[in-house]
Amino acid sequence: LVSRMRTQVDTVVTVKGVEIGGGKPVVVAGPCSVETPEQMEKVGAELQSQGIVIMRGGAFKPRTSPYDFQGLGEPGLRMLKQIGQKYGMAVVSEIVSPSDVEMAIQYVDMIQVGARNMQNFELLKAVGSTRVPVLLKRGLSATIEELIYAAEYIASRGNEKIVLCERGIRTYEKATRNTLDISAVPILKQETHLPVLVDVTHSTGRKDIMTPVAKAALAVGADGVMVEVHPEPTVALSDAKQQMNFAEFEAFMAALREGRMIP
């Protein structure tokens, strides 16, 4: 179903009126985690001022350590939705459990399946049984073929509103948090008809190279990029090192606009 053999026409996924894959690159931005109403209020105002139309924010956080902040859960989704409505943005958030899908779609316009759950087949079937757009991230050690089959799981349940996301894979290289597989973008575009985003935050884990990496992603045909933005990254409850502050985000957006990479 997701294969390019089925159609030469690129699929456009519409998230609350916002098109992904329609030829106009999108920037999905927002904090790693939803933390407080004050934090979300600041983020919402900043993103709106930068013309962002899709906001991200995690409420169920798949953390490496069980002692790290696990996310606010449903109250976090409620907060995300409220700020999204106030500032006119669609919202996307990760869901980790099939049993939370029904609850979550009351709040989110797009469900994120995170890298660690790319092959959680019960979750894929659950999101496939909804008609809510899905942002499917590539697994930490997943091949491109496995990512495509994960998308097929979702589509096979009747939900074809799928956006793929390259977010870097595990290699021996330590200079970046993960190794961004830039060639995955044109390969996914060639092998499937689905839109493709690149998460420049989790792939690089480095704010100093986010702008050139985002430009590269858009240059090879990505339909947009995802970045993490936080009002005070140093005190963020997750991914404190890699989230951009507002000044950094504004410089990032200005660079993409100047390079005519985004409208």
Binding site for Mn ion (CB under 5 A): 32, 239
* Pick 160 or 239: Cβ nearer ligand PEP: 239
3-state secondary structure of 62: coil
| Spatial distance between the Cα atoms of 115 and 154, rounded to a whole number of angstroms | 15
Determine if 133 is a binding residue for ligand PEP (CB under 6 A): no
The footprint of ligand PEP on this chain (CB under 6 A) covers a number of residues equal to 11
* Pick 142 or 194: Cβ nearer ligand PEP: 142
* DSSP 8-state code for residue 3: B
Q: What is the chain's length? A: 263
* Pick 94 or 160: Cβ nearer ligand PEP: 94
* DSSP 8-state code for residue 48: H
Do residues 93 and 108 touch, judged by C-beta distance below 8 A? yes
3-state secondary structure of 10: coil
* Pick 170 or 257: Cβ nearer ligand PEP: 170
Residue 223 beta carbon to Mn ion: minimum distance, rounded to whole angstroms: 21
Residue 56 beta carbon to ligand PEP: minimum distance, rounded to whole angstroms: 7
Do residues 229 and 222 touch, judged by C-beta distance below 8 A? no
Tokens coding 167: 């977010």
Q: Of all residues in this chain, which one has the CB nearest to ligand PEP in the complex?
A: 114
Residue 158 beta carbon to ligand PEP: minimum distance, rounded to whole angstroms: 24
Number of separate helices (H) and strands (E) present in the chain: 9, 10
Residue 120 beta carbon to ligand PEP: minimum distance, rounded to whole angstroms: 12
* Residues 176-195 within binding reach of ligand PEP (CB under 6 A): none
* Pick 137 or 189: Cβ nearer ligand PEP: 137
Residue 8 beta carbon to ligand PEP: minimum distance, rounded to whole angstroms: 30
Contact partner, 166, from Mn ion, ligand PEP, none, Cβ < 5-8 Å per class: none
To the nearest 10 degrees (0 to 180), the angle between helices 144-156 and 184-191 is 40
* Pick 161 or 202: Cβ nearer ligand PEP: 202
Tokens coding 10: 């690129």
Determine if 94 is a binding residue for ligand PEP (CB under 6 A): yes
Residue 79 beta carbon to ligand PEP: minimum distance, rounded to whole angstroms: 16
Determine if 31 is a binding residue for ligand PEP (CB under 6 A): no
Shortest CA distance to 255 belongs to which of 213, 221, 205, 222?
A: 213
Determine if 114 is a binding residue for ligand PEP (CB under 6 A): yes
Amino acid letter, residue 184: A
* DSSP 8-state code for residue 139: P
| Spatial distance between the Cα atoms of 229 and 145, rounded to a whole number of angstroms | 31
Give the residues lining the site for ligand PEP (CB under 6 A).
Answer: 32, 58, 62, 94, 114-116, 137, 167, 199, 202
